[in-house]
Structure 1
Amino acid sequence: MMKNKFILVLSIVSLIGTVIAYFYLPEQIIMHWDVHGEATRYDPKWMVLITGILPVIVYLGFEIIPKIDPKKENFKKHKNAYDIIRAATILLLIVIQWFMIAVAFGINISINTFVPLIVGIVFIVIGNYMPQFRHNYFVGIRTPWTLANEHVWKKTHQLGGYLFIVMGILFLIQIFIRHLLVYYFTFALIFIIVLYLTVYSYVEFKKTKK
């Protein structure tokens, strides 16, 4: 409970800081970069107000989900994992928000280091806690077959946990090996892993019917 309150307070403080920063930002700020780390899109500075409120909205969304999920009793069983994922997701949004603000103020931060670092860490955190997710309709690997069978759900999330950690490590490798081939290989492998987990859940479901 204390951890959740801290994340909520941090989200509100970040939003207040964003509103203050808004008045000092240039009229146009960078909102998108290409694979080379070059700015490709500028937007009006009021966009930071929209991205700034996202952590609060996401926090409220995480509060509502356990109350409306048909399997709400399972959220009590994986509460720790759920709270960790909530914190990781919101911290990711806050860090990205202040990265954009820092860049807008002219602070030199390498996008090619920043993005792989935070995304890699988040993937590893999610992968570490994914096997703890109990059967539900909102959080986790939700395919028709994992939702239809708790055994399939459990096996898919056990495998998914390991594979998410692998994806996180691949992102971290990009910090040290800055080559387009590594970038494309990482995203190709992510696509393959997602596809594989989908097929895996189907195959495991078919096994339960034999």
Structure 2
Amino acid sequence: MSEFSITFELFLLILGLAMAEVLQGFARAYKLQSRIRHGREPGLEPVRIGWLVPLSALVLLCHQATFWLYLYEVRGNVPLNFLSILALLALIGWYYLISAAIWPEEPEAWPDFDAFYMAHRRFVWFGVIAIALLGQLARATYSIETETQDPAWMFRLADGADTVGSLALIALPFVSHARLALALLVLVLAHFAVIAAVSPWIPV
């Protein structure tokens, strides 16, 4: 066990808090809709949640789960020093900020969640793209390659899904049309579904 492995649990805790922040958004949105539907707050205006924010939250959770796998893979090879601790804290702290921005802090202040998505999409997706690139760089630097005997078609399927998901993710910050953004989010989630299906045989 490396020295860095000792601090691994601390960073997992912070990452878990970031994921909990995303999940809490689902809970707040559900409770708000429930209060409106049952007339508990008669003066409260109806809120349209739509699909963009919930699907974005699901995409973010999938990326955070992937980042957790990267951390697990490299944990034994990362040297323990102040720079490595600061770098990882910055990455996971960045994830936490994105998690806090994916849902409205006060849902009733945004009658249409799609408008909230459009107002914050660049901060969210540029952040996710940057963290994903840094995570891949760290993985390439510190992971140990292992030989696998998996079928070639599985690798081609995983590589194709990665390509489609990456291109869709890169396009998301620039798309201001709701239907196109929705289609791209579905593509990214479909990519994660394919990766999840082949993950028992091919590492993420």
Q: TM-score, normalised by structure 1?
A: 0.40
Q: TM-score, normalised by structure 2?
A: 0.41
